[in-house]
Structure 1
Amino acid sequence: MARSVTLCLPLLVVFILCLSRSGRCFVPMVGVSLNPTDQDSDDNWTHGAITRRALLNVAADFQSSHLDCDVGDLLDVRPDMIFQEISRLFRRCYGQVVSAARFYQAALQIETANGCVDMNFATKKLPSAHFDAERFVGGNERLLELRTQVLTAIHQGEYEAARVYTGQLLHTLQDFYSHSNWVEMGHTEPNAGLAVPGADIGKVAGPDTPTCEDCSKTLGFLWYKCEDNIRPDVNQQGLLTSGYSSNQRDLDGNPVPKPEGVGKCSHGGHFDGSKDVPAVGGINKDTKWSLFSPHSDLHNQAAQLAVKATEEFFRSIRTAAGDAQFANFLNLNTGSTLCFVIDTTLSMEDDIAASKDRAIEIISSRLGSPTAPSNFILVPFSDPHVGPAVVTNDPEEFETAIGNLQASGGGDAPEYSLSALQIALARSLPGSTVFVFTDAGAKDAGLVESVTSLGIQKNIKVTFFLSGSVGQRRRRRSDRPRAPREAGDRDTYLSIAQATGGQVLDITKSEVFETTKLVDLVVTSAEVNILQIRDAPAGTGDHVIPLDLTMSDVIIQVTGQGAELQVLDPTGVLQATGENATVSVEVQLSDVLVVRVRDVTPGLWHVVVLSDVTYDLRVTAQSSVDFLYAFVDRTANDTEHPGVCDVDGRPVSGQRPNIRVNMVGSDPSLVQNVTSLDLVSSGGAVLQVLSLQENEALSEYFAVSPTLPQQPFKFRVRGYDAAANAFQRVIPTMVQTSTCRFEITTDLTTLRLVPGGTVDVTFTLYNAGQYGLFTISADDDKRYVQSLATNSLPLDAGDSGYNRMTLAAPASAAFGTTTTVTLTARSESGAYNFVVFRITVLPPERDFIPPTCEVVSVDGTCRDVDASTCDSRTFTVTTAYRDQGYGLRSISPRATNGNFTWILQDFRPGLTNQTITANFTASCCQTNVEFVVSDRVGNYDVCRPNLSPPLPKQAVNVAMFVFIGIGVLLFLILLIVLIILFVRHRRRRKYKAQEKYRDEVKTGGAGKALMKRDTSGAVTATATRTDVAVRSSETRIKYQRVAMTTGSEGHRVEISAHREMRTVRT
C-alpha cells in the first residue's frame, strides 16, 4: 500500500499542475476541460456557458415574438452545445440567408468582459466584484452602478460599451450563487433583490458571527470535501455569508484577510491560501470537482440559479430599453451596417449624388427582408467641419440625411477624413464595412494609427473610393508622375485599407455610381471571405476556390488595370459569361472587374486571372458558416479561477500565443470537421499551419503557435462540409506582432465621469523587446482626452513604465454618452501596440429610485368581445408619470399590434417633480398593452391597465359550445342511469324487508299484540300503543308510538322515534 501511495503522489502533482494550466469551471470562460477523460466534463458550467445559455433563451424568446418560426425545444441543451443551438435557431428563423455571426460577436463581447473580471488587474482580487468576504452591500452597489451604465449606454446607442458593462455585471451576479450560501439555504429561485433599485437583498451575517465549521479532507490528507459545514443557525436565520479568499484587497488597496478566531467561511479550493485558516475548508461551488470546489455537489444548482438570474437581467433590459434597442444591443437584427463617410466639399457633388442614389437603391430593394441593413451611419466631413454623425435604424431618416448633404466650399485640398472615419468606426457594428468617399488627402493623418487600430479591434473593413487627384493609381501606370503629397495621401488610405482587409479604388468622377455597385454586393447579412490575395504577380494566375454546400452567390473581384478572368467549375468546364449565364458581370471598369456566380456546385472551382500588371483578387460568398478568432491569455497556475481572457491589441512576439477560434453556424448537418488554422501572408503564402484542439464540438477550438511570424499575416480556417467538400474561410484583417503591450490598471467600472468633470485612467506599458523610447498617444471619438502625464517612456528590455491620462466631459454631455479611447505606443525601432477601451458619462449622484407609472382611469370595456369583433369596440387608458431624480427620459406604450392613438401631454425629456399624463386609445384587439416610463439614468417602471382580453373568434366559441353541450348530455345520461339504479335498488330492499321481517311485537309487559298479519305477511289489523319495542333479526329500537293503517291498496307504517324515522311504502 505504501508503494502505491508513493507512486500515486507524483501523478497527483502532475495532475494538479495540468489542471492549473487549462481551467474549465464556473469561472471566466468556456475554456479547456479540467479533466478531458471525464465523460461528464461538459456538464461543468462556466461563466461563459451560463451567459451563453441565458442569451440563447432570450434570443429564442425575442425571435419567436417577432417571427413566425419554431425555436425548438431548448430544455436539454448541454453547456457544450449552446453555440450550435444558436446557429440552428437562426437557421430555423431565417434559413441560410442570414448569419448568426453578429449575434455571436455580441455574445462573445459580453462573455469576454465577464471572464476578464477574474483576470483584470483591478478586479481579479476585489471582493465586491465576486461577492466574497461577505461584501454583499458592496457587491450589490457594484451591480446597481453597472446597471446604470448599461441602460444609459443603450439609451445613447452605445451598444458595445453596454455589452462590456453587461459582462462585468453578469460576472458579479453569477458569482453570488456560486460563492454565497444562497443555495445552501434551500432557495430554488434567484435573489429578487440583486441589481434592483431600492430592493432588499436579505440579511447579512455580522462581522463577529461565526458562519462555518471545520470540515475534513478527502482520504484524510488530499483536499477538503465539505458538506454541511455552514453552521445550521446561519441558514435557518436566513443570514447571507460567503467565503474569504487569499490575497484579496478592497477598492482602496487595503488587504481583506480572513478573520482569525471567528469561524468565518473560506472560498476554498486547491489555490485558496485561506482554506487552512479555521474554519478550514470552504464553500465555493465554482466547479463539480471537490479539488477546486468544496461544495462541488451543489455546482449544478448554483449554475441553474445563475442562468435564471442572468435571463431575468436580460429581460429587464428588454423591458427598459424596448425591443428596437434591445435588438441592437444583442445584434439580433439580421443585417449589417450601411456606413458612408462622405467628403462634402464642392468637388464632391457627383460623388454625393452617386452615393445617395446607391443608398436609396439598396434600401428600397431590400426593405423588409432579412438582408436589409440593420443600421445606417452617415458622417460628413470637410475642412474644418466633421459631422454631425447620423446613426439610425430608420432607413427613411438615413435617406433624408444623405439627401440633405450639400457640396460646398473647398476643393481637393486635405480634409479631416480620418476624424470622420474614427467616428464611423466607433459607431459601426463589428464585422461591417465602412465606405469613405473623397477626392482629397487626410489633413489629420496623425490619426492613422489610432483609426487603424480601432478598425482592427472591431474587425471592420475600410474601403476608400478615391475620385480626385489623390487617387492616381491608374494614371500613374500611364506614366503620369505623382506629387509627393499625393503619394503620401494615398499611402495613408492604403495602409488603413490593407490592415483592415478593405481596399482602395481609384476611379474617375464618371465611374463613381458604377463602382458603388460594390456596396450593394458587400453590405449583406451573411458575407464570408473565401480568398484574398494582394499584389499577385503579373501574368496568368490559376487560383483554386473551394466552394462548399452552404454557399450561394459567389462574388469574384479582380483589381488591376486591364485584368481579365475566367471561371471554371469543379469538372474543369469554362463557364460562359452573360446576363442569364452562371457567371454574370456586375462591375466592369478599367481597373475593376467584378463577376457573380449564381448557381454554385460544391467542389474545387478555379479562377484564372490574366493581367499585365500586379493585381488584387478577392472572393466572397453568402453562407451562414463563418468563424471568429481572438488571441487569449490563460491564467497562471496560482489562481483560484483558471480560464482565458481576450488580449487587447497586438500579440507579443517571442511568446507562445493562444488563439481561440469560434465557428459560426456549424453543426453536423452542415460541417463534418474543422481541420486546421492557417497563418497566411497578404499574397496568399502559407506561413504556419496550426492544429486545433476542440473545446466545443464544431463550435469552439484552441490553437497554440510556437512563435508567430514577424511579417503581417491573416487567419484562414479549413475543413470539410457534411458532404466531404473542402471548405475554407478567411478573416481579411491583417495581424502583426509587437514587442510591447499595455495593461489598464484602473477599474473602469468605478470611474465616474460626470458632465463637466474629469477622471484619470492609469496604465502600464511593458517592453518585451530591446531598449526603446516609446511615444505614447491617446485619441477618442468624442475628444474627451485632455492630457497624458508623459508623452514618452524610456524602457529597457523587460521593464514596464507607469503613465496616466486625463479625460474631461463637457457640461452638456448626456448621461450614457460613451467615448471610445484608443491608446497607442510606438518606439524608435518601430515597435507598436494599442489598446481600446470605453468611458461612459454618468450622473453626479447615484439615483436608484425609479419613476412612477400609474393607471388613472380606463374608459370603455372589452368584455364579451371576441377576436372577430374586437375592432368594433375601443377603450381609452389615462396614465400618469412622475420622477423625482434626474428627470424623465421616455414614456411609451408597448406590446401593441395595431393602430392606436397616443397623446402625451406637455412632455419633454428631463422633467422632474412634475406629473405627466397621457391618453392611449385603441381597439379591444390590443388589450395586452403596457406602459413603460424610464428616467435619464435607466431606472424604469411598468404599469398595465385591467382590461378583459377579447374572447376567441366565433368559430372557436362554436366548438367550445359543442364540447359543453356534449358534456352536459353525457352528464344527464349518467344522472338518469344512476336514478334508475337507485330506484331498483330501493325496490329490492323493500321486498327483502317484507320477507325478512316477521316482527314480534310485544307490549310493555302485557304481551298484547298490536298488529295482526295474515299468512302472506300482510297487516290486517291496526292498533296504537305507546312505549312499544320492535324486535327484528337486525335491530332493536325502542319507540314511543306506533301507528298502523290498512287499506285495499296496501298499507302504511309510520314510526316516530327519538333517533330515527323509517317510512316504507308499497
Structure 2
Amino acid sequence: MYPPDKNTPTCQNCDADVCQNNILENIIRDKKLTSGYFGLVKPTGKCSHGDFLDVTSLQVPKGGINKDGLGSKHGYLHTIAADVAGAASRQLLEDIRGSAGDREFLRMMGIYTFGSSILCFVIDTMGSMSDDIDAIRKVSSFIIDSTRGTAAEPSAYILVPFKDSEFGPRIRTTDPDEFKALINTLTANGDGNSPKMCLSGLQLALTGAPPASDIFVFTDAPPKDLNLFGTVTALIERTKSVVNFMLTGSLSFARRRRGSQGLSSRVAASDSRVYIDLAQTSGGLTIQTTKTELPQANSIIVDSSNSSLVTILEAVRSTGKAERFSFTVDEGVRNLTVYITGRSLSFTLTSPSGVSQSNAGVNGPLGMIKTVGNFITMLLDGQAGLWVITVSSTGSFTLKVVGGNGTLLVTITGSDFVKLTDVALVEASGAGQVSGTMESSGNRDFLVFMDRFPAGEFVVSLNREIIKVTPRASPNYFQRQSSTRFRTSKIMVSAQAVGVLEPGTQFSIPFTVTATTSDTGANFTIRANNDRGFSSSFPSTLALVNGRANGTVTLTAPLNTASGTDVTLTIEAESPNATDTNYGILRLSVVSMVTDITRPVCEVFSVKANCSGDCSLSTWELSANLTDGNGTGIERITRRQGNGTLRTTTAVDESGNKVTRANYTASCCSPTMELVAVDVVGNVGTCYKSLNRGHTLAQFSHLSFILCLSGALILSS
C-alpha cells in the first residue's frame, strides 16, 4: 500500500451527522494510504481530520475521517480501528526486534537484563604510547573477565584511536571479546612528541556514547585541535558525560588566569591545561603518572565501570590553602572511595565516630591509602553519618567522594520513605552556594526555585532524609551531587532541522541567536562543527538586532555516506568580548532514498519428522529457501524460536537472484521454530513452523508503515 501523490484527491464531502464513508472509492479500491489534515488549510481534494476545532473540515471536501472516539463522525469504526492499530503496532515492534536483534530491542524499550554502563576509551596511538596501550589491554581484559555475565557487565564498548594528523574511526560493539580483540590490534607508531588530534577523538566518543557515560582519554601530548574546545565543552554539558584524562607525558600544567581574558584566550593560554579544564567541567579527573605507574592508576577505570556509582561530593580548588569539607554518607552506600588529585598536599579524614586518619601512613583505622603520581585513592569502611576531610595544599587540587548504592536507589522521585530536604547550587571552585525553595508537584516530584545563580560554573547538590520505616528505626540522611558542572549564559542558540539529510545533497539548518546583553548590535562569533567532518558553511559572525539574529549552516554528507549514519552538529555563539558563550546541538541522521521495499521471502519445501513417544530420542528437520528478489539482499538469518541447529548456504537461482538455503534440525522435544531474515535496508521476513499445529506458515513483514492508535495510517518518511 502506498500513498497517493499530492495532486490526487482522496475525499468527498460528508455533511451528515454520521459519515458512513467520505473517502473516494478509487482510494479504497487501490488500497491507497491517506490521513486527515488538521489546522487552517489543506491541499485541494484532501481529507480533513474533523471536529469542531478543525477549520479544514469546513473546507471542500467537508467533514473528517477521524475515528478517535465513539462520538466521532466515524465513531462506528473506532473499535475496529483501535484493534487494527494495536495489531499493527505489535507487528511493527516485532519487525524492529527482528531487524535490530533482541539485545538492542530490549535496550530501546528500556528493559535491561545486562549492565547499563559503557566502557569508552579514547587512545593516543603514536609511537611513545606502547607502554600505555599494554596497560589499557590489561585493565580492559580485567573488567571484561570480572564482570562478564553479571549486572556490572558493560552494555557496550567504544574505542576511538587518534594520532597527530588523524583520528577515528569510532568503533562500538556489544561483544566483549570483539572489544578485547580491537584493543589487542592497536599498535603505537610515529613521532610521539608532537601535538595530537585528541579533542577530535573525544568529540567522536561524546557523540557516539549514551548520555552520562564515563570516558577515558589516554595521551602523553597536548591537543593539536584546540579549535574544538568549545564544541567538546558543549557536548560534555549536553550529554552529562564524565571525561577522565590519563596523562603520562611531560605536559606543562602551568596555571592560567580565567574569566577576564575571555574564552578564546583562556584556551590559548596553556594548550595542555585544556585537559584539566575539560575534566573539571565534566566532573572527571586528570591523572598524571609516569608510564610505568599507569597500571596502578587504572583502578579509577575499574571503579567507574560500576553502573551504580554515585558522586557524593566534588570540589575543585585552584589555589593552595587549607580547607575543610564535610559530606554525609547514608546506610545504602557501599565501596565509599575518596579520590584526590594534586601535588604537595596533605589531608586528614575524620569518620562519623570521631576516628581520624591522615595521609602520613598507607594503612590506618579508616582505610588504605594508595598514591600514584598526582592521584590519591582511599577506600573507606563506609560507616553512615557525617564525614569531615581537611585538605592543605600549596597548589591546586580536586577532591571527589564516590560510592556505590547498595540496597537503596535514590532518585529525585525517590521511594515513599525518602523526604527531599534541600537542594543547592554550589560554586564549583569556591565555597559559596545558593539554596533553593522546593514545591511539590505531585508524584514525588519537586520544583526547586532559585532567586539567583552562582557566578561562573556550579554543581547541583541535594540532601534528603530517610523517614523512619519502623517505629524503632532512627532517621538518617544522605547526600548526592551532580558530576557535570552547569553555568549561566545570557546567550541562547536554537536550531531545528527541517527535511532529510541525503548523501551528496546540501542540507540547510537555520538557527537563531538571541541575547540579553549590552553587546547586542555588535558582532557575535559563530562556529559550527560536526563529528563526521562533513563539508559545511556558516556565517563567521552575526550582528544581533534587538537581541536577535538568524543564520544558516549548510551541511553536505559525501555521496558514499551510508544511510543511517549519525552526525552531531554543534553551533556555538560567542559574545563580542569573548566573556560569554552558548551552544546549540543537533543530532541528524543521513537517509538515502529507499528503493528496496521488498521483504525477504521464505519458501519451505521440505519438513521431515519422525517423532516417537519419547521426544528425546527423535528429531525433525526443515529445509527452506529464503530470497530477497531484486532487493538489496539478505544480510542475516537468525533463529528466534527453537533450540535446534541452523545451517545456511548460499547459491544463485536461474534468474540470477541470490538464494539462502536454511536447514534446521531439532529434537522433537522442541517442536516450534521461527527464523528471521533481514535484508540490507532492514526489511524483515519470518518462517514459522510448529509440529503441534501440523502445518507451516511463512510470515512476512517490513518497516515502511506505522499505524497510529487513532486508526489513521501515516507514511513514515
TM interval, shorter chain, is 0.7 to 0.9
Residues 254 and 270 of structure 2 are in contact (CA less than 8 Å); yes or no, is this contact kept in structure 1?
no
User: What residue in structure 2 maps to residue 730 of structure 1?
Assistant: 481
**Structure 2: gaps (5+ residues):** 256-265, 469-474, 695-717
**2-structure distance, mates of 1:485, 1:689:** 32
Deviation at 1:322, TM superposition (A): 1.1
Letter of the 2:533 counterpart: R
Distance change >3 Å, CA 256–CA 456, structure 1 → 2: same
User: What residue in structure 2 maps to residue 864 of structure 1?
Assistant: 613
Distance change >3 Å, CA 141–CA 447, structure 1 → 2: farther
**2-structure distance, mates of 1:930, 1:795:** 61
Deviation at 1:837, TM superposition (A): 1.9
User: What residue in structure 1 maps to residue 222 of structure 2?
Assistant: 441
Residues 719 and 726 of structure 1 are in contact (CA less than 8 Å); yes or no, is this contact kept in structure 2?
yes
Deviation at 1:431, TM superposition (A): 1.0
User: What residue in structure 1 maps to residue 400 of structure 2?
Assistant: 618
Greater shift after overlay, 756-765 or 802-811? 756-765
Residues 211 and 234 of structure 1 are in contact (CA less than 8 Å); yes or no, is this contact kept in structure 2?
no
Letter of the 2:639 counterpart: R
Distance change >3 Å, CA 244–CA 690, structure 1 → 2: farther
Distance change >3 Å, CA 243–CA 844, structure 1 → 2: closer
For 2:377, what is the secondary structure of its paired residue?
Answer: strand
Letter of the 2:372 counterpart: L
- Higher helix content, 1 or 2: 1
**2-structure distance, mates of 1:838, 1:486:** 29
Residues 651 and 658 of structure 2 are in contact (CA less than 8 Å); yes or no, is this contact kept in structure 1?
no
Residues 138-173 of structure 1 deviation map (CA, whole Å, 9 limit, x = unaligned): 7x999xxxxxxxxxxxxxxxxxxxxxxxxxxxxxxx
Q: Which of these residues, 635, 653, 665, is aligned with residue 890 of structure 1?
A: 635
1:337 aligns with 2:118: yes
Deviation at 1:686, TM superposition (A): 4.9
Distance change >3 Å, CA 717–CA 924, structure 1 → 2: farther
1:689 aligns with 2:444: no
Deviation at 1:284, TM superposition (A): 8.6
Deviation at 1:212, TM superposition (A): 6.3
1:936 aligns with 2:684: no
1:508 aligns with 2:258: no
Q: Which of these residues, 852, 867, 874, is aligned with residue 619 of structure 2?
A: 874
User: What residue in structure 2 maps to residue 210 of structure 1?
Assistant: 14
For 1:572, what is the secondary structure of its paired residue?
Answer: coil
User: What residue in structure 1 maps to residue 458 of structure 2?
Assistant: 713
Residues 652-701 of structure 1 deviation map (CA, whole Å, 9 limit, x = unaligned): xxxxxxxxxx737x322xx4222443222103645432334444523x44
1:774 aligns with 2:519: no
Deviation at 1:820, TM superposition (A): 1.9
Greater relative contact order: 1 or 2 (C-alpha under 8 angstroms, separation 6 or more)?
2
**2-structure distance, mates of 1:540, 1:300:** 72
Distance change >3 Å, CA 923–CA 470, structure 1 → 2: farther
1:843 aligns with 2:592: yes
1:520 aligns with 2:268: no
Letter of the 2:527 counterpart: S
User: What residue in structure 1 maps to residue 316 of structure 2?
Assistant: 534
Letter of the 1:365 counterpart: S
Letter of the 2:583 counterpart: F
**2-structure distance, mates of 1:486, 1:760:** 32
Q: Which of these residues, 495, 509, 530, is aligned with residue 744 of structure 1?
A: 495
Distance change >3 Å, CA 549–CA 414, structure 1 → 2: same
User: What residue in structure 2 maps to residue 458 of structure 1?
Assistant: 239
Deviation at 1:931, TM superposition (A): 0.9
Residues 96-123 of structure 1 deviation map (CA, whole Å, 9 limit, x = unaligned): xxxxxxxxxxxxxxxxxxxxxxxxxxxx
Letter of the 1:798 counterpart: G
1:679 aligns with 2:428: no
Q: Which of these residues, 810, 813, 819, is aligned with residue 567 of structure 2?
A: 819
**2-structure distance, mates of 1:924, 1:780:** 55
Distance change >3 Å, CA 683–CA 383, structure 1 → 2: closer
Deviation at 1:726, TM superposition (A): 2.0
1:379 aligns with 2:160: yes
Letter of the 1:880 counterpart: N
User: What residue in structure 1 maps to residue 102 of structure 2?
Assistant: 323
User: What residue in structure 2 maps to residue 636 of structure 1?
Assistant: none
User: What residue in structure 2 maps to residue 798 of structure 1?
Assistant: 547
Residues 906-948 of structure 1 deviation map (CA, whole Å, 9 limit, x = unaligned): 59xxx99422212233434544431111122221111112334
Deviation at 1:566, TM superposition (A): 4.1
1:415 aligns with 2:196: yes
**1-structure distance, mates of 2:632, 2:34:** 37
User: What residue in structure 2 maps to residue 64 of structure 1?
Assistant: none
Residues 356 and 366 of structure 2 are in contact (CA less than 8 Å); yes or no, is this contact kept in structure 1?
no
User: What residue in structure 1 maps to residue 664 of structure 2?
Assistant: 920
Q: Alignment identity in percent?
A: 28
User: What residue in structure 2 maps to residue 546 of structure 1?
Assistant: 328
**2-structure distance, mates of 1:409, 1:338:** 27
Residues 211 and 264 of structure 1 are in contact (CA less than 8 Å); yes or no, is this contact kept in structure 2?
no
Deviation at 1:892, TM superposition (A): 2.3
User: What residue in structure 1 maps to residue 697 of structure 2?
Assistant: none
1:764 aligns with 2:512: yes
Q: Which of these residues, 576, 580, 585, is aligned with residue 368 of structure 2?
A: 585
**2-structure distance, mates of 1:829, 1:285:** 58
Q: Which of these residues, 770, 783, 807, is aligned with residue 533 of structure 2?
A: 783
Distance change >3 Å, CA 388–CA 800, structure 1 → 2: closer
Residues 30-53 of structure 1 deviation map (CA, whole Å, 9 limit, x = unaligned): xxxxxxxxxxxxxxxxxxxxxxxx
**1-structure distance, mates of 2:74, 2:424:** 43
Residues 261-284 of structure 1 deviation map (CA, whole Å, 9 limit, x = unaligned): x99664546xx7779999999999
Distance change >3 Å, CA 233–CA 323, structure 1 → 2: closer
**2-structure distance, mates of 1:597, 1:336:** 24
1:667 aligns with 2:393: no
For 2:483, what is the secondary structure of its paired residue?
Answer: strand
Q: Which of these residues, 181, 187, 190, is aligned with residue 400 of structure 1?
A: 181
Distance change >3 Å, CA 767–CA 311, structure 1 → 2: farther
**Structure 1: gaps (5+ residues):** 1-135, 143-203, 214-229, 248-254, 475-483, 628-661, 951-1066
**2-structure distance, mates of 1:780, 1:808:** 11
For 1:558, what is the secondary structure of its paired residue?
Answer: strand
Deviation at 1:536, TM superposition (A): 7.0
Letter of the 1:760 counterpart: S
Superposed counterparts of 1:986-1005, under 5 Å: none
Deviation at 1:341, TM superposition (A): 1.1
For 1:443, what is the secondary structure of its paired residue?
Answer: coil
**2-structure distance, mates of 1:877, 1:711:** 68
Residues 531 and 729 of structure 1 are in contact (CA less than 8 Å); yes or no, is this contact kept in structure 2?
yes
Deviation at 1:468, TM superposition (A): 0.8
For 2:340, what is the secondary structure of its paired residue?
Answer: strand
State the Cα RMSD in Å: 4.3
Q: Which of these residues, 829, 835, 841, is aligned with residue 577 of structure 2?
A: 829
Distance change >3 Å, CA 369–CA 357, structure 1 → 2: same
Which has more radius of gyration?
1
For 1:765, what is the secondary structure of its paired residue?
Answer: strand
Letter of the 1:680 counterpart: V
**2-structure distance, mates of 1:299, 1:311:** 18
**2-structure distance, mates of 1:321, 1:263:** 35
Letter of the 1:591 counterpart: N
1:852 aligns with 2:598: no
For 2:484, what is the secondary structure of its paired residue?
Answer: strand
**1-structure distance, mates of 2:491, 2:49:** 41
**1-structure distance, mates of 2:477, 2:693:** 56
**2-structure distance, mates of 1:711, 1:299:** 56
- Higher strand content, 1 or 2: 2
User: What residue in structure 2 maps to residue 359 of structure 1?
Assistant: 140
Residues 336 and 523 of structure 1 are in contact (CA less than 8 Å); yes or no, is this contact kept in structure 2?
yes
**2-structure distance, mates of 1:305, 1:696:** 36
Residues 129 and 219 of structure 2 are in contact (CA less than 8 Å); yes or no, is this contact kept in structure 1?
yes
**1-structure distance, mates of 2:556, 2:452:** 37
Residues 459 and 484 of structure 2 are in contact (CA less than 8 Å); yes or no, is this contact kept in structure 1?
yes
Distance change >3 Å, CA 242–CA 422, structure 1 → 2: closer
**2-structure distance, mates of 1:912, 1:575:** 78
**2-structure distance, mates of 1:311, 1:735:** 41
User: What residue in structure 2 maps to residue 389 of structure 1?
Assistant: 170
For 1:529, what is the secondary structure of its paired residue?
Answer: strand
1:946 aligns with 2:690: yes
User: What residue in structure 1 maps to residue 649 of structure 2?
Assistant: 904
Deviation at 1:486, TM superposition (A): 10
